[in-house]
Structure formats: structure tokens, C-alpha cells
Structure 1
């Protein structure tokens, strides 16, 4: 059975002289939908130049047409995200190495921890290839407390740190905590960049008009997995109901069946039977959520790089309530552009919601300040400019490494 398949975009087949050869960037990540939802600006940065071309290696599913609309060539490679089988990992490593040797990219951009580890091993002896390691969060692995979990954490993060120390490598993290964490394991202290996520388009995500309603609406947008803290938000709603506070919670997102921490459909349907809680499933246009909901809650239990749902709600000038974890706390300055609450603390979350429900002027001020912060540092334009500079610098380092 063929493990990967390739598709070339006919629109990109052009007669180009050797002197005009484009810099080939290969994106490697586990899921095509993740690129579409979070990393479009990277593809747009490539397509905006006449000097670069882009190819994505990922589990495509039904995302190929949308990825090709971004002017990316596609290579299907099944990352088996839910698999912990070491033989599957070795097979993945072998096939990714074959792809790298066949494609001969100038730059490989590995996105998230699993591609960083598999990709770092697959490209270890390809000195002519420049590598960008993009850490989008640490996940539960960084929180492991058992002996086995600590051993696995030590091995994985030391490997990731080792890859970043090569002269033809560059490390991108999305918040200072993740950078400091990886540097404790020996990651590079020089070839690094801090990206506040992949940026949002402030002309697309704009402030919504204030609704006239007797009831304030809260919105949650994200995957339905336990690490996101959705259950804590539901518990906070129960506490508000006991206090006699009338507020409506709207949940948008679907279970991630490839994730062992996925919330079941049965649980979501049960929550939706509770008073003032509605689960709406997935949403294609997130702006519709923030046109309806005045308050955005990101109740995650663990650090997430820089949550995109938070940035999109901020661009729409919604009142933010987020947990005090890596990523969230690096965007929200308490009482200025949002509220911070401890993770897994339903009482503190209920208190914060009650405060914003009772204070529409505070909601408005926090939302306006959050959008201002987006405009200053978190737009797609910022990301497009920054990533091209990274690609330029990592190639300079690579040429110095190989003596070109």
C-alpha cells in the first residue's frame, strides 16, 4: 500500500530559468485542517513573493482543495495522530525521510511537537536543508508527573532542543514560557523568534454592534476536548444559575475523535439539555459567534501557545475571560484588556463572568483595548513579514554551515 501520494498544482507549473529558481519551503504538520484554521498567513507569505514556493506535507483528509487554493502543492502523509505505536512512528519517519530526499526543499518548516520530533530525526543528516521548528504549545506531556511520563518528557524535549541547536535551524515559539521551558532542556538561545500565534486579519474580524437583549451571551469556540476546560465552564454556569444570574452559554466546536481526550457527543448533548447552555456544533464563520456573544471565554487547563480563538474574539472587541496559563496570560493584561482566572477553578470563572455581565461598560473597555493590542502586534501582516525574515536568516545560517 502506498503510504503517501503527491499532487502537483498545474497552475504552478511555469518555465523558470535556473537563475530564477524559487526557494522551496516545505510545511510539515499532522493535519491539513490545522493549517487552514491557524496558519493561512504562512501560505499567504509564500504566495505574496515571486521568490518562494510552498508545499505542505500532512494528513490531507478533505482539505486538499482548500490548501491548493492557497497556492500550495500537497503531499499526503498519514501522521496517525491518535497512534502511540512505535512501529507506526518508525514507518512515518522512514516515509518522511523519503519525501525530504525526493523533494529537496531549501527550507522545512515543522509545525507542532510531533512533526518537530519525527521531522528532526528524518532531516538530521540533511545539512543542505534549513529547518524551522515551530512549537505551538507544550501539551499534557509537559505536565507529566509519573515516572514514565517524566522520562518520556525528558527524552522528547531534549531531542527537540537538540534539533534547534544546529546552525541551519531556527526555533519559533508562541509565548515566552514555552521558549524558557525548551531552553531548560538545552534549546538554542540565539536563533529564536517569538510569534504571537499566526495572526488575525483585523479587516475580517471587526467589532460587532452591541445587541439589544435582556440576556448576556457567552461564547466558547474550540475543539471539544477535556484539556480545553469546557467542563469547568459548564460547572461555572451551574454556579451562576444557583446565584440567580441569567446568562446564556453558547458552545461552538466538535469533538476531536483522533484525540484521546475528546469529549463524547453524549456528554455534549447532556450539557446542552441544561438550562441556558447550547451546543451548536462546528462553525465556519466565527464572526457570527462574536456578533451574538458579548463575552468570550477560553477556559483551557494547559498552555496552548497563543490560542487563536482568543485572538479572533479580541479582534472582534469582545470581553475576554481566559485562564492564567502560558499563551493566555501573555496576551491578556488583567483588568486592561481582559480578565485572568486560575485554571480548573469554576468559582473564580463564575465570579469573572458575573462581573462582566453586571458591567457592560467594563466589557466594552476591555474589548476595545484587546482589539487595539491585536492591531499593534498580532495581525496577519505582522506574521507574514516576520516569517519571511526567519526564512532569510535561517538560510544565511545554513549557507555558513555548509560553506556555500
Structure 2
């Protein structure tokens, strides 16, 4: 099968670009012929599979990319095209070019349909009301037609499937983001054991609203007020966003010394050490795709406390490697309080289930599942021209 991947940000830093490259690498291993096409970024040396004989890449910019895409479609004659992500204007034009070439395309949404994500701009982006209106307008009149004319839509969780179905869309297939096989395994091949105090971790950008850090701090404050200050510790580790680090440090001072720790981002041995001191990973994201840090936590056998909106909640509950919680500080408080009394054997069952999930959904397995989904869609023969 000849597959063409289209993603403007394929070569830039970030979770979704990294995960898309992992998917492409896995598909190369299936024997598929791969072509990738990106517009922004030029970090080609960071991807060792660039020179794979079944893979070629074009990095371009501006509207000239349409002419280059047209030439690639003619030269490679792909069986199917995979478009990664919504809200990206050039993707609309690329999809029109693909449909005019009579090639079916698939779209992976990567959390872009989350209602919370439409209400708030993430990271350092300025919160401007007109931008929110523009995003909703774009979603209604551009993203939905893009999805409606797709041969298929890849979602990463049952929550995301519910969002897609609520828009009246069909031909949906669920395949989660994968996990690097080299991440998988508990340290020293020993079962994980609970610490004293029980330690909860958030690792990633300290974006208070996006990552639900306000809910975590609210729940932790309630635990302390109910007499659990000696039993619990929360670590929030990662780079700050705007003034988030100052806000979190102020909250930590109010909660109590040593109970809430605000740390910098960690890599290498420091990351290994933080996994060792962690009992549970807090994945209370209000919106996002399946992020890298919780995936790595699962690979280390660390159970998740996860929201549906962060796309791990359903998987954690269904596969028994964590607890699904709503985006509610009081309910998170009750969940964390219950986990403080969980037995060692019950905790190790959660940990074993996390490792089992990680071993099941490696990138090689995920890539193979996505290729099989392509084939099913091609067998259906569903294709509509866009534009």
C-alpha cells in the first residue's frame, strides 16, 4: 500500500509531530511505501528514518506547496492520504488537491474537537474573544466539511469517538497513540511498591487550565484539610506557562511545606528518578490528544488518574490501569482519598495492567492497526470530492 502523510508541523518539536513520526516509522516496518509532506520546520536530521528506501520527504512553505503536492500525487500515486490535525488552513487546501486527484483521505483529529479547546487558547497564546469566535466559525464551516468528505476518521479514544459521532460523522475507527517499546518495563524487573507518603505526579507543561492543575491543587488542599497531610505528596514538574509557576508556588505555600512540590522539567536520569518516586500519574487534562508523558508513565507501570477529555480516562477504566475521573475537584479529592487506602496487592494489579496495555499498544502494533483500517476503508470504496 502506498501511503502519503500530510502534516504541516511534521518536522517541528512537540507531542503530535513526534507521535506522527512514530506512526510513520511503524508503517514503514509494515512494508508500506511511505511519503511524508510537511510545510513548516526543517529539523530533518532529528529523524533517523528520513533516508529509508521506502520513504521520501518534501519540506516546503507557502502556496507553492500545492504545486509540489500535485507533483507528488502524480509521481507516487498513493492509495490513501493521511492528514494529521484540524484548525490548520493549509490542510484544507491540501485536502482539496488530494480529492481532485481522486485519492481518498483519512483525518486523525488528535483532540482538536474538544469543546474546552475551542473555548481557551493553550500555552502562551493570547486569550482573545475574537479568536475563539473565529475558531468556532472555522470548525463549523471548514473542519466539519473536511471530516465529512474524508474516507475515514481516526480517533484515539471512545471520548473522541463520541465527539465525532455527535457531529453526525461516520466511518470512524479507534486506534490509540502508541507507546515506545523501549519505554516498557518496571525498574529492576520488580513490582512497583507504594511510597510513604503516596506520591502523585504531573509531568509536562505547567499550563494550569489546560492540564487541570487547578483541580489537582483544589483536591490536594481538601486532603490536607481532612487530615491527610502526612499521607500524600503531589509533584508538578515541567516548564511554566506565562505566570503559572509563580501561581503554583503560591498555592504550594498555602497548602503546606513539602506537600506540593513545583519542579522544573526533567530529562535523562532525572526523569528516571522521578518515575521511581511516583505512585500515580495525574492526567486531568481538559483537552488534548493522548500525550507523551502519561504514555511513558503507563509504560513504567504507573497507574493513571485520568479524565476522559485527556483521552486516557476510558482506556484506564476499561483496561484496569487507573481511575477515570470527571473534571471536578471534589470528585478528584474523593478518588485520591480512596487511593491513599489502597492495598499493595490492588495497587500492583493496576500496575500490571498498565504494563500489559503498554506492551499491547506499541507503535508497531498501532501502525499495523491503522494500515488495516486504511484497507477496510479502501474496500468500502467511499470517496467524495471536496471543493
Q: Which residue number corresponds to residue 196 of structure 2?
A: 214
Report the 3-state secondary structure (helix = DSSP H, G, I; strand = E; otherwise coil) of the residue aligned with 1:387: helix
Cα distance in 2 for residues equivalent to 1:334 and 1:275: 37
Query: Once the 2 structures are TM-superposed, how far is the Cα of residue 333 of structure 1 from its aligned partner?
Result: 1.9
Q: Please list, as runs of the form range in 1=range in 2, the aligned pairs for 1:265-280 lying within 5 A after superposition.
A: 265-268=245-248, 270=250, 275-276=257-258, 277-280=260-263
- Note if 1:45 corresponds to 2:26: yes
Q: Which residue of 2 aligns with 1:134?
A: 108
Could you tell me how far apart the structure 1 residues matched to 2:194 and 2:349 are?
18
Residue number in structure 1 paired with 2:124? none
- Against the structure 1 CA distance between its residues 157 and 308, is the aligned structure 2 distance closer, same or farther, given a 3 Å change threshold? farther
1:236 corresponds to: 219
Q: Which residue of 2 aligns with 1:182?
A: 164
Q: Which runs of 5+ in 2 are unaligned?
A: 121-128
Match runs of 1:68-83 below 5 Å? 68-69=48-49, 71=52, 75-76=58-59
Distance 1:179 1:159, change over 3 A: farther
User: Are the equivalent residues in 2 in contact too, given 1:157–1:182 (CA < 8 A)?
Assistant: no
TM-score (norm 2): 0.75
Which of 124, 144, 168 is the aligned partner of 2:96?
Answer: 124
Aligned in 2, Cα 1:315/1:171: closer, same or farther, shift over 3 Å?
Answer: same
Distance (whole Å) between structure 2 residues aligned to residue 143 and residue 36 of structure 1: 21
Aligned partners of 1:250 and 1:278 also within 8 Å: yes
Determine the structure 2 residue equivalent to 1:83. none
In the other structure, the counterpart of 1:163 is 146
Contact residue 161 and residue 186 of structure 1 kept, 8 A: no
Partner deviation per Cα, 1:156-214 (whole Å, 9 max, x = no partner): 14533322343x73211112332343344343x23x32112x21135522123436853
Does the 8 Å CA contact 1:29/1:58 hold for their aligned counterparts? Answer: yes
Other-structure match for 1:7: none
Contact 1:237 1:350 (C-alpha < 8 Å) held by counterparts: yes
Which of the pair has the greater relative contact order for Cα pairs under 8 Å at 6+ separation?
A: 2
User: CA 1:371 to 1:97, structure 2 compared with 1: closer, same or farther past 3 Å?
Assistant: same
- TM-score, normalising length from structure 1? 0.72
Q: How many residues align?
A: 353
- After superposition, the C-alpha distances for 1:202-238 in whole angstroms (9 at most, x for unaligned) are 5522123436853322211223222111122123223
Which residue of the partner structure matches residue 351 of structure 2? 367
How much is the aligned-residue C-alpha RMSD, in angstroms? 3.7
- Report 1:5-24 matches (<5 A): 23=2
